[in-house]
Chain A
Amino acid sequence: MTAPVRDEVGRITRGELRDLFDDYAACLDAEALREFPAFFTEDAKYQVISRENHDDGLEHASIFCLGRAMIEDRVTATVEAALYQPRSLRHFVSGVRITGEENGEVRAEANFLIIESLVEREPRILMVGRYLDRVVREDGSLKFRERTCVFDNYRIRTTLVIPV
């Protein structure tokens, strides 16, 4: 897989990152999953990994996608096949920070909190954790080359259906 040519127009700012993260969260809150893969570069790595594994250097992630094709497969599987009870998710993203910068790619971190509302249930915390990102500018818009979602939950409650 060859990395797409990047359009390096200017530095990526914290404000732009906040916009990216908000758009990403809005996409998931709306369950507009078909639009989800477009947030990633073609060679992107996307994973949802427990803090237990991440801190211990263990590679297994509950969701593990190498390349946008795998992200698209997960979306197709979720939309076309997966059976799950209706839910509303709200993503709350805070503490967006740039932690490094190299060759037009920025490393960024942010906290996430996802509240899940199910039928006959009060809203509950589904997941809380940190995004560890590598973001690049591609064709004028920001994309994730890597998004590692490290969740603090010891256990996932019931299931993890919608990406984090």
Chain B
Amino acid sequence: MSDWVRIADASEIADDEPFASEWNGEAIALYRHEGEIFAIGDICTHEHVRLSDGWFEGDRIECPLHQSCFEIRTGKVIEGGPASEDVASYQVKVEDGAVFVKRGI
């Protein structure tokens, strides 16, 4: 994914609700936080489960299975849970109500 990819409509992404999406087999979750939209990989690096089914609070998503937490801005894992590796992070841009993502920050 070296180019910008259209992945959702901005109107679909609610304030406190993770939005699960996918592009070319890659699970990506979108989060709206303090008015801004963020995108990170959606599969926990500990066990295979969608993070977007977990607990979204503040700027972090908590895995529904074993409570590993990831920063929604960067995909970085927060120490304390069983996961030790970060999930992917994406750049996000919104154009004409459409959300585009691209690998990397």
Complex: A in contact with B (CB within 8 Å): no
Residues on A lying within 8 angstroms of B by beta carbon are: none
Q: Interface on B for A, CB 8 Å cutoff?
A: none
